[in-house]
Chain A
Amino acid sequence: MRYPLFAAVAALTISPLQADTLVVLAPDYFGSSWGPGPAIKEGFEARCDCTLEFRTGDVLPRLMLDGARTEADAVIGLNTDMTLRARETGLFAPHGQSLEALTVPVVWEDDTFIPFNWGYTAWVYDSTRLETPPASFAELLEREEISLVWQDPRSSASGLALLLWVDQVFGDQAEEVWRNLAARTVTVTAGWSESYGMFTSGEADMVLSYTTSPAYHIVAEADETKAAAIFEEGHYFMAEVAGVLEGAANPDLAQEFMGYILSPEFQEMIAYGNWSYPSALPREDWPEVMRDLPLPEVAIFLDEDQAEARRSPALEIWLQGMTR
């Protein structure tokens, strides 16, 4: 009698451990109740009969520090400017998904990383303080009375996007452009949140943010005074991506999660969860507030190799222009 009893107890104690758990490394914003994390967890758990566990923090530094010892099965929330370094860790496996459903405005044929949302960097203004926004980057340069606050390309992803944006649009003239911008730049902050806070409290006419930023103010605050200036030259494209780790304890589950990311359910939710455009949903199916926002016509995008090649020289030019 003792043996079966032991087995029953063992089965009872072990079974919760055997229930599949998918561990996903995610940026800090997945950890809060107001971020996209809870909805994704609930949605995926309903279909996978498993537990989804987000490990939040600074994704890429963590992955690099942990290396092959990472306990995660998958990663979500890497920026397009980090994918090269993430790829070079050799920790990633193919995602195994068809990319046909993608609706991003650039060609995307990556078999390692899947974009799950995207956006354009843009200068956001308050229409009560700036009645007619510039219609192009060139016009912004002419209107020297417009004050600006933005992020340092050395410490912020959106700041880096601006760096590459100017580099692509103005090429050889970039140093001139930075000198022009420096003259009416209120300040450059380490992160996006400091800039944005300064903008909303009236420290500058325009802030470097995203074309989707006004959606938050419209939905959460019923405030329609914030808008993004749409420039003729085009806007810099940024996406956030997900991928499967080579050493995943649950590779099938990780792949299933990749599939879930491309599903309409996930895609319809991400717009509100992260205030950005869905990556695999036709524009007519976007939430109304996103659909109604003006959308830039030209996407400027550097793939990771080009971006890496331009990053250092563009930064040198930026430093020259900004400090002289």
Chain B
Amino acid sequence: MSDPARQARALALLFGGLVAGWLVMLNFGALGAVTWRAEGLSALRGSDWAAVRFTVLQALLSAGLSVLLAIPIARALARREFAGRGLLITLMGAPFILPTLVAVLGLLAVFGRSGLVNQMFEALGFARFNIFGLHGVVLAHVFYNLPLATRILLQGWAAIPAERFRLAAALGFSGRDTFRQLEAPMLRDLVPGAFLVIFLICLTSFSVALTMGGGPRATTVELAIYQAFRFDFDMGRAALLALVQFGLCAVAGVIAWRVALPSSLGGGLDRPVQRFDLGARGLRLWDAALILAGALFLLVPLGMVILRGAPYVAGLPAEVWQAAGRSLMVALGATAATIAMTLALAHAVLALGGTRGAVLEWLGLAALAASPLVIGTGLFLLIRPLANPRDFALLVTMLVNAGMAMPFALRLILPDLRAEMATQGRLAAALGLHGWARLRIVTLPRLRRPLGFAAGLTAALSMGDLGVIMLFAEREGATLPMQLYRLMNAYRQDDAAGAALVLLAASLALFVVFERWGRGRAGT
């Protein structure tokens, strides 16, 4: 290895190490502080184990179904060109960035007792159906996560080099051959990771699971943590439950890591993909039906949120707009932090490689399994001896959001960075490109798409985040989601609907701006 290369590696490890340090503090330091404060762990109850069982069951079903449905939808979207395709893909991503409460209200407006579907059923003389129960939990989680799964897989399809499809056409591949030779290896690479991320998101679900689950049968571990904190003030039990949640995350992480196989499709010259195998009429209808069904499922509830809130946006109190501005700042700060931290961590993962790299990668995902309540309380306890935590409310929110968004960003950026290293690494090394120059000239242009997507996701997610701020914020520091809850808690349902629409619009706008930037064609 040449000297500059060695230097670059050392830098990657240094920055990656710093990020890893922050993640360790966020995930385990906070948990440790809570445990220490509780003076030890206390025992779990029978009902806690029931919560663990339900949590795992619904997370497995939700993640499985999300990924399973995403495969045909992403496949159809990937191989068809039509007017408005880009806009449709962007909009279909929206449910994932909705604040969960807003998403649930939108879903109920469609699938609830007096929702659109039941009204239609009634008009047609069918019996009404009940959405609440395990199937309701899964429906809500699929609504929420199908967009993410679809987008992750779409990236996978986009990453199959155009040359492979040309070769496939030249070799006279049937649709099944193309799937087996080109698409299946890509799926084998990406599906375990997508499944893992969604499984972890569903693992920490609390309010959605309870509301859609129809009662205490649908108790999740996160609700048990909340109960331990708020109603029993048993921090020891809260900490133990948080540990259980981490354990589940670790097991899922190891399984996904063992199952995933890096695809070996090799690099290409980044030509636009041309497909020669899609003329059949039946196939066209099939793809159109899939896209339509996916779009209806994801977009109608969004439309209901818009219709419900639109009349009240103009009359919103000034402080809602101030809060929106504050949330915007937090979102932008969190985005910058996430992108910087993710790039550093991803480089370190690749520089280390092997098991050590995998451990680092897992650390990047771990925040998904961390309980926001435990993180918030733990950081509060950690900062308290040094300063007044409330002076840092927005900063802490920003950094915690960055830690929470990193799992998605890492999932998106790491595969492409790995591919970039594999396909361009030797050329770059031969040209003597290292460090910053290499990052600027080779890496960033090639990562533009996942970077834009990751930035859009982070910005939108932290715009709608309610997590830690509740414990830290003062009256002046309210964010938009906090104001939304305040309005709802003061009976002001109409204003709350208006604020929800503002939140939806702001999140979507942030997402679109970053994502559009990412889709600008890289100049190779």
Q: Do A and B actually bind?
A: yes
Q: Residues on A close to B: CB < 8 A?
A: 28-35, 37, 54-58, 61-62, 64-66, 69, 71, 85, 147, 152, 154-155, 160, 182, 185-194, 196-198, 200-204, 213, 216-217, 220, 275, 318-319, 322-323
Q: List 18 A-B contacts (CB under 8 A).
A: A29-B486, A29-B489, A32-B483, A34-B317, A37-B475, A55-B475, A64-B233, A155-B230, A189-B207, A190-B211, A194-B211, A196-B488, A198-B108, A202-B112, A203-B114, A220-B491, A319-B216, A323-B217
Q: Does B170 contact A (CB under 8 A)?
A: no
Q: Does B210 contact A (CB under 8 A)?
A: yes
By the criterion CB–CB under 8 Å, are B207 and A203 in contact?
no
Q: In the complex, what residue of chain A is closest to B491 when comparing beta carbons? A: A216
Q: Residues on B close to A: CB < 8 A?
A: 47, 50, 101, 104-105, 108-109, 112-114, 132, 206-207, 210-217, 223, 226-227, 229-231, 233, 317, 319, 377, 380-381, 384, 388, 390, 470-475, 478, 482-483, 485-493, 496
- Known contacts: A152-B210, A187-B132, A188-B214. The answer to whether A193 contacts B112 by CB under 8 A is no
Q: Which of B47, B206, B380 contacts A319 (CB 8 A)?
A: B47
CA distance A182 to B216 in the complex (A): 10
- Known contacts: A34-B492, A65-B384, A190-B207. The answer to whether A201 contacts B114 by CB under 8 A is yes
By the criterion CB–CB under 8 Å, are A31 and B491 in contact?
no
Give the chain A neighbours of B377 by CB distance below 8 A: 61, 65
Give the chain A neighbours of B485 by CB distance below 8 A: 28, 193
CA distance A58 to B470 in the complex (A): 7
Q: How far is the CB of A308 from chain B (nearest CB, A)?
A: 11
CA distance A66 to B383 in the complex (A): 11
Q: In the complex, what residue of chain B is closest to A65 when comparing beta carbons? A: B380
Give the chain A neighbours of B223 by CB distance below 8 A: 152, 154-155, 190
By the criterion CB–CB under 8 Å, are B229 and A188 in contact?
no
Majority secondary structure of chain B interface residues (helix, strand, loop or mixed): helix
CA distance A188 to B206 in the complex (A): 12
By the criterion CB–CB under 8 Å, are B381 and A61 in contact?
no
Of B108, B114, B210, B214, most buried by chain A (CB within 10 Å of CB) is B210
Give the chain B neighbours of A202 by CB distance below 8 A: 112-114
Give the chain B neighbours of A152 by CB distance below 8 A: 210, 216, 223
Q: How far is the CB of B193 from chain A (nearest CB, A)?
A: 30
Q: Which of B50, B213, B226, B381 contacts A155 (CB 8 A)?
A: B226
Q: In the complex, what residue of chain B is closest to A30 when comparing beta carbons? A: B475
CA distance A200 to B377 in the complex (A): 34
By the criterion CB–CB under 8 Å, are B109 and A201 in contact?
yes
CA distance A202 to B317 in the complex (A): 26
By the criterion CB–CB under 8 Å, are B216 and A323 in contact?
yes
- Known contacts: A29-B486, A32-B486, A203-B113. The answer to whether A56 contacts B475 by CB under 8 A is yes
By the criterion CB–CB under 8 Å, are B381 and A65 in contact?
yes
Give the chain B neighbours of A194 by CB distance below 8 A: 101, 104, 207, 211, 488
Q: In the complex, what residue of chain B is closest to A199 when comparing beta carbons? A: B493
CA distance A190 to B491 in the complex (A): 16
Give the chain B neighbours of A318 by CB distance below 8 A: 216
By the criterion CB–CB under 8 Å, are B214 and A187 in contact?
yes
Given A34-B490, A155-B230, A322-B217, 8 further pairs, Cβ under 8 A: A32-B319, A57-B470, A61-B229, A64-B233, A155-B223, A155-B231, A186-B214, A201-B112
- Known contacts: A152-B210, A190-B206, A194-B207. The answer to whether A275 contacts B491 by CB under 8 A is yes
Give the chain B neighbours of A275 by CB distance below 8 A: 491
Give the chain A neighbours of B490 by CB distance below 8 A: 29, 32, 34-35
Q: How far is the CB of B121 from chain A (nearest CB, A)?
A: 15
Q: Which of A62, A154, A201, A213 contacts B471 (CB 8 A)?
A: A62
Q: How far is the CB of A187 from chain B (nearest CB, A)?
A: 5
By the criterion CB–CB under 8 Å, are B489 and A193 in contact?
yes
- Known contacts: A58-B470, A185-B214, A190-B211. The answer to whether A201 contacts B108 by CB under 8 A is yes
Give the chain A neighbours of B216 by CB distance below 8 A: 152, 154, 188, 318-319, 322-323
Q: In the complex, what residue of chain B is closest to A185 when comparing beta carbons? A: B215
CA distance A85 to B229 in the complex (A): 13
Q: In the complex, what residue of chain B is closest to A322 when comparing beta carbons? A: B216
Q: How far is the CB of B426 from chain A (nearest CB, A)?
A: 54
- Known contacts: A34-B317, A185-B214, A319-B216. The answer to whether A147 contacts B470 by CB under 8 A is no
Q: Which of B47, B104, B217, B471 contacts A61 (CB 8 A)?
A: B471
By the criterion CB–CB under 8 Å, are B113 and A204 in contact?
yes
By the criterion CB–CB under 8 Å, are B470 and A187 in contact?
no
Give the chain B neighbours of A147 by CB distance below 8 A: 113
Q: How far is the CB of B45 from chain A (nearest CB, A)?
A: 10
Q: How far is the CB of B235 from chain A (nearest CB, A)?
A: 9
Of B230, B473, B482, most buried by chain A (CB within 10 Å of CB) is B230
Q: How far is the CB of B23 from chain A (nearest CB, A)?
A: 23
CA distance A29 to B486 in the complex (A): 6
Give the chain B neighbours of A33 by CB distance below 8 A: 317, 319
Q: In the complex, what residue of chain B is closest to A153 when comparing beta carbons? A: B231
By the criterion CB–CB under 8 Å, are B493 and A58 in contact?
no
Q: How far is the CB of B101 from chain A (nearest CB, A)?
A: 7
